[in-house]
Amino acid sequence: QVQLMESGGGLVQAGGSLSLSCAISGSGFRLTAMGWYRQAPGKQRELVATMTSGGATNYGDSVKGRFTISRDYVKNTIYLHMSSLESDDTAVYYCNARGYHFTDPLDAWGQGTLVTVSP
């Protein structure tokens, strides 16, 4: 079984910074990509940032230049550093891991962590 555990959410003032982390645990998995998505109240889940196993990154248009995704390959942990936060960044942030669990396709999600940006 593969599990994702997020941490680091909370309340921050607009213009401030916050970092999230997501650790993946389990055995028998091989990751092709990990990333972050978010869902604001009344809106669809959207891409924040992803990173492939080769290190290629992709960011949602609304966070480019403000957010940075990184990964610790040894710890199987990804991070999201968020800066210049805006009220529109308020959302539940979800960690995602894709790849294979033994021979089965893997598309795992964390439970989500709430980020609230106050005006």
Statement: residue 9 has pLDDT above 90: yes
Statement: residue 1 has pLDDT above 90: no
Tell me how far apart the alpha carbons of residues 24 and 72 are, in angstroms, rounded to a whole number.
11
pLDDT of the residue at 23: 95
Average pLDDT over residues 108-116: 97
pLDDT in tens, 26-69: 999 999 999 999 999 999 999 999 999 999 999 999 999 999 99
Average pLDDT over residues 17-25: 96
**Cβ distance 89 to 117 under 8 Å?**
yes
Tell me how far apart the alpha carbons of residues 17 and 82 are, in angstroms, rounded to a whole number.
5
- Cβ count near 13 (within 10 Å): 10
